[in-house]
Amino acid sequence: MIRTLSPKLELLSNELIQKIIDEAYSILENQGVFIENKEALNLFREAGMKVDASSQRVRITAKLIENSLSSTPPSLKIYDRSGEIEYLLGGDEVHFDPGSVAVTILDSETQQERKAVTNDLIRFARLTDCLEHIHFQSTGILSTDVSEIVSDSYRLYIGLLFSKKPIVTGTFRIEGFDPMHRMLVAIRGSEKNLAEKPLAIFDACPSPPLKWSNLTAQSLIDSARAGIPSELISMGMTGAAAPVTIAGTLVQHVVENLSGLVICQLAKKGAPVIFGGCPVSFDMRKGTTPIGAIETMMIDSAYVQIGKHFNLPTHSYMGMSDAKINDAQGGFETGIGTILAALSGVNVISGAGILDFIRCQSLEKLVVDNEICGMAYRLIKGIAQRGDPIALDLFKDFAADTQFLSMSHTRKWYREEHTFPNLIDRDQYDIWVSKGRKSITDRAKEEVESLLQKNPPPLPDEETQKALKEIMLSDAQRNDMLSLPEISFP
C-alpha cells in the first residue's frame, strides 16, 4: 500500500529559518533579555552567564542554548484525569483545546457578552468534556463570583471537577502555583505520579519585547521542578511590541522562547517544554490585536515550523475570531485558522470557542468549532490508497447501469472515508425550512443544552472531590474569602 501523505504547510525556507535563528542567537548573546526574577538570575549566574544585577539583563551564550535544547525532550505525553488515556505531543500530532482566558462569556440566550460566574465555568468544562475533537480542556474563563486573587486556582478547581480531559492552565500569581500543584497531586496521588503522568500544562508568557517577569519566570521554574510541562507563550505585537515585519517578529519570538526554555532547563534538566505563542499582527488603525488576521496565522505557522526545526513540541493560539458575535466573520476566521494550524502540524492548538480578541468564550461557538476541528482532522488524515487495486475491480463489469451505491466496496469504506458532521447544515432546502430556517448558531444553542442534559458531570470520586475542595477552600480563606460559591448542576 502506498504510504498516505499527511498534507503540510510550510511558509519558511530552510535558509530563512536559519537566518532568523542566527539573529536570535546574536540577540541572546549580545543584547540578552530582561529577567525580573532573583532565582532565575541566580541560575544564570551559576551557569556562568553574564548577569547585570541592576538592569536584570542576562546574556545567554550559544553554548548554553544548545545544551538546553539538547536536554529538552522532543516529545511528551499528557494524560487524562484517570491517567489511562495518553496523548502524544510531538511530531505532527494535533490536539485542540479551548482558547483561554476569556473575561466574558457570550450569553446563550441573548448572544451578548456578559461576565461569567461559577455556573458558566461548570457548563464550559462539562461541554468540553463531551466534544470529540477537542482533546484537552483549558481553564478558559474567569469567574467573577470569587475573589480575583484566587481566580487561577478556582478555574483549575472547577475544570478538574467537571471534565476528565487533560487541562491547559497557568498561574496569575506566584502563590497560585502551590494550591494548583497540590490539586493536581491530589488527583494523581503523589508528586512522583504527577511528574510521570502530567495532567496539566502551565502556560507562561514573556512580556514583549524580551522580558520574563517575576511571575512568569517563577512559573517556569516551579513547573519544571514539579514535572509540569511549561508552554511558552511569546506574544509579540508587530510594529508595537515586536518588529513590524513578520520575519522580524519571528526573530523576537525565537529569542523569547529560547530564553524561557533555558530557564526551564536550568531549573531542572530535562524539563518538558512546549514551544508556543500568541503573537499578533497589530492593527495600526484600531490599536487592536486581531487573532483572526491572516498575518497573525502566518506568524503562528512560521514559528511552529521553527519550533519543529528545534525538534520541540509546539503550540499556538489559532482557530479563533475577533468578531463579537457568532456571525460569518466568527466562522471564516476560525475556519481558516483551524485548517492552517492543522496543516502546520501544531501539537497543541488553543482557540476553540473564542471571540473578541480572546476576551470572550461562547459555548455555542465551542460546539461549532468542534466540527471545524473535525474537518481539520479529516484533512490531515490525508488520502489513503485504501485498496489494491484502488478501483480497477470496481470497473471490471462496467456497464451502462453501473452504480456504486449498492456495492459492498461502498458499504465497506464510506464511513472511513467520509465524515458526518452534526451541526453543519446539509439538508435539502425544503427540509431546512421545515426545521425552522435555523442558522448553525441556532442549532448550536440546542446542541449545547442537549449535550449537557445527556451527559452527567464526570465528577471524580468523593475522596478526590473532598481533597480538591479542601485545597481550594484553604486558598480562598487565606485570601479573605470565607466560603466558595455553591456548586450545582442540572
Contacts to other proteins by CB under 8 A? 103, 142, 148, 151, 172, 207, 213, 237, 239-241, 244, 284-285, 287-288, 359
Residue 275 phi/psi, 5° resolution?
-80, 105
Question: Which residue, 161 or 241, is less far from other proteins as judged by CB?
Answer: 241
Write out 444-462 in H/E/C secondary structure.
HHHHHHHHHHHCCCCCCCH
Residues 60/69, Cβ–Cβ less than 8 Å:
no
Question: Which residue, 59 or 211, is less far from other proteins as judged by CB?
Answer: 211
Question: Which residue, 172 or 377, is less far from other proteins as judged by CB?
Answer: 172
Cα 242 to chain centroid distance, Å, stands at: 22
Q: What is the largest CA-CA distance in the chain?
A: 86
Residues 315/274, Cβ–Cβ less than 8 Å:
yes
The distance of closest approach from Cβ of residue 146 to other proteins in the complex, given in angstroms and rounded to an integer, is: 13
Question: Which residue, 244 or 391, is less far from other proteins as judged by CB?
Answer: 244
Residues 252/236, Cβ–Cβ less than 8 Å:
yes
The cell numbers describing 41, all together, are 538570575
| CA dist., res. 41 & res. 57, Å (int) | 9
Residues 59/30, Cβ–Cβ less than 8 Å:
yes
The cell numbers describing 417, all together, are 472515508
SS3 416: helix
Cα 406 to chain centroid distance, Å, stands at: 43
The distance of closest approach from Cβ of residue 283 to other proteins in the complex, given in angstroms and rounded to an integer, is: 9
Cα 351 to chain centroid distance, Å, stands at: 6
Query: 232: which strand partners?
Result: 204, 275
The distance of closest approach from Cβ of residue 88 to other proteins in the complex, given in angstroms and rounded to an integer, is: 34
The distance of closest approach from Cβ of residue 285 to other proteins in the complex, given in angstroms and rounded to an integer, is: 5
CB atoms within 10 A of CB 439: 11
H helices of 77-150, in order, are: 118-130
Question: Which residue, 144 or 193, is less far from other proteins as judged by CB?
Answer: 144
Is residue 481 packed enough to be buried (19+ CB in 10 Å), middle (13-18) or exposed (0-12)?
A: middle
Name the nearest CA neighbour of 208 among 184, 243, 172, 181: 243
Question: Which residue, 238 or 370, is less far from other proteins as judged by CB?
Answer: 238
Residues 197/83, Cβ–Cβ less than 8 Å:
yes
User: Helix (H) and strand (E) counts for the chain?
Assistant: 16, 18
Question: Which residue, 293 or 373, is less far from other proteins as judged by CB?
Answer: 293
Cis before residue 389, ω within 30 degrees of 0?
A: yes
Sign of torsion over alpha carbons 20, 232, 381, 293: negative
The distance of closest approach from Cβ of residue 205 to other proteins in the complex, given in angstroms and rounded to an integer, is: 12
The distance of closest approach from Cβ of residue 360 to other proteins in the complex, given in angstroms and rounded to an integer, is: 12
Question: Which residue, 16 or 103, is less far from other proteins as judged by CB?
Answer: 103
| CA dist., res. 306 & res. 326, Å (int) | 33
CB atoms within 10 A of CB 105: 27
The distance of closest approach from Cβ of residue 237 to other proteins in the complex, given in angstroms and rounded to an integer, is: 8
Name the nearest CA neighbour of 223 among 178, 187, 167, 190: 178
The distance of closest approach from Cβ of residue 105 to other proteins in the complex, given in angstroms and rounded to an integer, is: 13
Question: Which residue, 213 or 479, is less far from other proteins as judged by CB?
Answer: 213
Question: Which residue, 142 or 484, is less far from other proteins as judged by CB?
Answer: 142
The distance of closest approach from Cβ of residue 113 to other proteins in the complex, given in angstroms and rounded to an integer, is: 12
The distance of closest approach from Cβ of residue 161 to other proteins in the complex, given in angstroms and rounded to an integer, is: 23
Question: Which residue, 284 or 407, is less far from other proteins as judged by CB?
Answer: 284
The set of residues, in sequence order, having a beta carbon less than 8 Å from that of 185 and lying 6+ positions away, is 191, 193, 194
The distance of closest approach from Cβ of residue 240 to other proteins in the complex, given in angstroms and rounded to an integer, is: 5
Question: Which residue, 55 or 453, is less far from other proteins as judged by CB?
Answer: 55
